[in-house]
């Protein structure tokens, strides 16, 4: 589809002076621009921020009008954005969000890619992914932190405080999967990663995400075994096809404690079948997509069978959200679902505590402001070793893309404490300009996604989508600066509904009151959702934090 008037290079305004009438409006304006900064966005010329076609605005004409409206929007007005297009401005009040966003929503029977693409081609909708269309994407720090959190949760479940003395076997060093080796070593473990594209290995070595490259499987296994025995946090990459290498490692009795995979198995044309030369991949897939798909699925079945073999041998094995189990089952492998997806296995206990991907961006553009927030997080939560290790490492190793930003997983009570402290630091001038505080939609109370975040809920409520809608309404009622309701993020059209919020810490007393409400009520909807589904841990958290559950007699 067309994207309106001419593309141009966009970057968020910086500094301590605003051009909009209030900081919430200025924050929305800077974060919209930041999402399209070439350092942040994958294809800024097409307004695509990340995740295939996740856009920040419908087209350049819409982008220009959103920008113009935000500059003049009053503190008692609200801009409506319908799938990336500004469609109205209404009188509201100072506690109301300055922007309300709905992206890619379709009526149930029409919720499929075909219909979505038809409407998109007519210029009537856009795909907002999760944080693309809600203006709070902060680049690849998010995936590194999420992967760090997952492996931390694997450690907590099975191996103790960290992954020291364990070996993780995985495959795929692409855009998302490339975070795996660093996430494992940050948790203290050793990692062996199989990747069929040598250039991906080189790139991750150059970025410091991967430590070593082995020239053969023998060498890779020897290095990995030594690192595990010596309890060293080292990651090793080896060129190979996972459909052949993972079964071979099983046959050799490789001492893998954790096995997962992040090849792009969700798309059979993006998974290299066993026996196909890497250089023939593109031609073969284009020439005979059906034959290629069959071979890819058979290979995935062999790959998953080996993963089940590792599980039988006692390893911790999980699907990392790439649908490899589903593809293997389609190919006829009946034990494909003998190991769990990562959300029910590790993330749900975090969701029960109201934990999720809390994040913030410094609107000043000054990295010193984020350094000050890092210190504040350590001052507040210094006794949490896992969190402290992330904050310290991120400060040293994460390079900012666009406006300086930070992400860490915080739970019920913690988010409000952090937001209020940040607001005090803005008020006192220790932080030079306001902060935009938001989160991913992959959060405790804000998403219904039966193949990912809500897979295998205890009460079978995986596809119930009232929860993200309630979440958005709650954030609107609690003082968020902008609120969004999206469809299809993460797993595609027809498969998820989810909501986002951003609240601005501008140092004012009003902002403090709003932050306390939003940053308490937003995760509270997650605690409530999980308590309602029967998770006792969430009921305990609700009691501890005074969250009332009428059906439990509170």
475 is in an annotated binding site: no
* Helix segments in 73-132, DSSP class H: 113-121
Q: How far is the CB of 511 from ligand NAD (least distance, A)?
A: 32
DSSP string over 68-117: HHHHH--TTEEEEEETTEEEEEEE--TTS-SEEEEES---GGG-SHHHHH
- Residue 176 CB, shortest distance to ligand NAD, in Å, is 4
CB of 363 vs ligand NAD, minimal distance in Å: 28
- Please state, in angstroms and rounded to a whole number, the distance separating the CA atoms of residues 49 and 57: 10
Cβ burial, residue 348 (10 Å; 0-12/13-18/19+): buried
Q: Which is nearer to ligand NAD, 227 or 285 (CB)?
A: 285
177 is in an annotated binding site: yes
Q: Is 265 annotated for ligand binding?
A: yes
Distance CA 185, CA 163 (A): 8
241 is known to lie in a ligand binding site: yes
Is 175 known as a binding-site position? yes
489 annotated as ligand-binding: no
Is 551 annotated to bind a ligand? Reply is no
Could you give the CA distance from residue 342 to residue 395 in angstroms, rounded to a whole number? 27
Q: Shortest approach of ligand NAD to residue 482 CB, angstroms?
A: 24
Among the options 96, 408, 418, 511, which is catalytic? 408
**Could you write out the DSSP letters of every residue in 377-440?**
HHHHHTT-HHHHHHHHHHHHHPPP-SS-EEEEEE-TTHHHHHHHHHHHHHHHTSSSS-EEEEE-
Would you say 54 or 365 has its CB closer to ligand NAD?
54
Cβ nearer to ligand NAD, comparing 97 with 321: 321
Q: How far is the CB of 186 from ligand NAD (least distance, A)?
A: 17
Going by C-beta distance under 8 Å and a sequence separation of 6 or more, which residues neighbour residue 309? 247, 250
Using the minimum distance from each CB to ligand NAD, give the nearer residue, 123 or 247. 247
CA 552, CA 537: separation in Å to the nearest integer?
Answer: 14
Pairing of strands 48-50, 405-410: unpaired
d(CA 289, CA 268): 9
Q: Smallest distance from the beta carbon of 150 to ligand NAD, in angstroms?
A: 7
Record the tokens describing residue 465, joined without a space.
């989508």
Taking CB atoms, the residue at the shortest distance from ligand NAD is 174
Residue 408 designated active-site: yes
Q: Is 307 annotated as a binding residue?
A: no
| 237 annotated ligand-binding residue | no
- Alpha-carbon dihedral sign for residues 452, 149, 422, 415: positive
Judge whether 257 and 166 are in contact, CB under 8 Å. yes
Which spans of this chain sit near ligand NAD (rule: CB under 6 A)? 171-177, 194-197, 200, 241-243, 262-266, 270-272, 320-322, 452
Kindly tell me the sign of the dihedral angle through the C-alpha atoms of 278, 280, 285, 290. negative
**Shortest distance, CB of residue 319 to ligand NAD, whole angstroms?**
9
Q: Which is nearer to ligand NAD, 23 or 320 (CB)?
A: 320
Burial class (CB in 10 A: 0-12, 13-18, 19+), 253: exposed
Q: Collapsing DSSP states into helix, strand and coil, what is residue 174?
A: coil
| Segment holding 323, helix H or strand E | none
Nearest distance from C-beta of residue 171 to ligand NAD, angstroms: 5
Residue 110 per-residue DSSP state:
G
C-alpha count within 13 angstroms, C-beta hemisphere, residue 263: 31
Tokens describing residue 322? 């790439």
- Rank residues 269 and 378 by Cβ distance to ligand NAD and give the closer one: 269
- DSSP 8-class letter at 552: G
Could you please report the per-residue DSSP string of 326-387? Answer: HHHHHTT-TTGGGS-BHIIIIIHHHHHTT-EEEEEEETT--HHHHHHHHHHHHHHHTT-HHH
Residues 492, 128 contacting (CB under 8 angstroms)? no
CB 365, min distance to ligand NAD, A: 28
Nearer to ligand NAD, 242 or 437 (CB): 242
Q: Which of 125, 182, 176, 129 is nearest to 152 (CA)?
A: 182
DSSP string, 513-525: HHHHHHHHHHHHH
Complex with ligand NAD: residue 177 or 189, whichever CB lies closer: 177
Consult the annotation and say whether 490 binds a ligand: yes
Q: 446 in helix, strand or coil?
A: coil
420 marked as part of a ligand binding site: no
Q: How many whole angstroms separate alpha carbon 451 and alpha carbon 453?
A: 7
Q: For ligand NAD, give the closer residue by CB, 131 or 262.
A: 262
242 known ligand binder = yes
Q: Tell me the binding residues for NAD(+).
A: 51-52, 129, 175-177, 195, 200, 241-242, 262-266, 271-272, 320, 490
Residues with active-site annotation: 408
Known binding-site residue numbers = 51-52, 129, 175-177, 195, 200, 241-242, 262-266, 271-272, 320, 490
């Amino acid at each position: 589809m067309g994207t309106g008037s001419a593309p141009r290079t966009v970057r968020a305004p910086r500094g301590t002076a605003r051009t909009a009438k209030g900081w919430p409006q200025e924050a929305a304006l800077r974060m919209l621009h930041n999402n399209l900064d070439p350092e942040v966005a994958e294809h800024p010329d097409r307004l695509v921020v990340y995740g295939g076609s996740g856009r920040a605005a419908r087209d350049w004409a819409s982008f220009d009008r959103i920008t113009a409206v935000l500059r003049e929007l009053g503190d008692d007005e609200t801009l409506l954005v319908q799938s990336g297009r500004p469609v109205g401005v209404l009188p509201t009040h100072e506690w109301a969000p300055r922007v309300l966003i709905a992206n890619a929503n379709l009526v149930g029977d029409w919720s499929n890619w075909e219909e979505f693409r038809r409407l998109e081609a007519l210029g009537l909708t856009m795909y907002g992914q999760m944080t693309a269309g809600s203006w709070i994407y902060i680049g690849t720090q998010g995936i590194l932190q999420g992967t760090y959190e997952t492996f931390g949760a694997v450690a907590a479940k099975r191996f103790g405080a960290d992954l020291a003395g364990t070996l993780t076997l995985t495959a795929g060093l692409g855009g998302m999967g490339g975070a795996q080796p660093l996430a494992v070593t940050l948790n203290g473990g050793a990692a062996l990663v199989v990747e069929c594209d040598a250039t991906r290995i080189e790139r991750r070595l150059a970025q410091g995400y991967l430590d070593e490259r082995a020239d053969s499987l023998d060498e890779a296994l020897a290095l990995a075994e030594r690192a595990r025995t010596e309890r060293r946090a080292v990651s090793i990459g080896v060129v190979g096809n996972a459909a052949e290498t993972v079964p071979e490692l099983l046959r050799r009795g490789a001492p893998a404690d954790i096995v997962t995979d992040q090849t792009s198995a969700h798309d059979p044309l993006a998974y290299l079948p066993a026996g196909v030369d890497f250089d023939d991949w593109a031609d073969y897939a284009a020439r005979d997509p059906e034959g290629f798909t069959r071979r890819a699925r058979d290979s995935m079945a062999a790959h998953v069978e080996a993963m089940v073999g590792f599980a039988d041998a006692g390893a911790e094995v999980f699907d990392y959200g790439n649908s490899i189990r589903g593809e293997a089952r389609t190919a006829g492998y009946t034990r494909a679902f003998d190991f769990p997806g990562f959300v029910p296995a590790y993330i749900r206990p975090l969701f029960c505590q109201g934990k999720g991907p809390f994040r913030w961006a410094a609107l000043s553009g000054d990295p010193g402001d984020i350094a000050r927030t890092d210190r504040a997080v350590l001052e507040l939560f210094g006794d949490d070793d896992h969190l402290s290790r992330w904050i310290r490492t991120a400060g040293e190793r994460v390079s900012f893309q666009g406006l300086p930003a930070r992400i860490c997983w915080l739970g019920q009570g913690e988010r409000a404490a952090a937001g209020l402290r940040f607001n005090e630091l803005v008020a006192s001038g220790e932080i030079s300009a306001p902060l935009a505080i938001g989160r991913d939609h992959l959060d405790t109370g804000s998403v219904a996604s039966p193949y990912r975040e809500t897979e295998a809920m205890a009460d079978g409520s995986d596809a119930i989508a009232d929860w993200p809608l309630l979440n958005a309404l709650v954030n609107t009622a609690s003082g968020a600066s902008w609120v969004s309701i999206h469809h299809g993020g993460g797993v595609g059209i027809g498969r998820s509904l989810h909501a986002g919020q951003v609240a601005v810490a501008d140092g004012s007393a009003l902002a403090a009151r709003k932050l306390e409400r939003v940053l308490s009520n937003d995760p509270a909807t997650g605690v409530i959702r999980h308590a309602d589904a029967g998770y006792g841990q969430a009921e305990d958290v609700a009691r501890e934090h005074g969250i009332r559950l009428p059906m439990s007699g509170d």
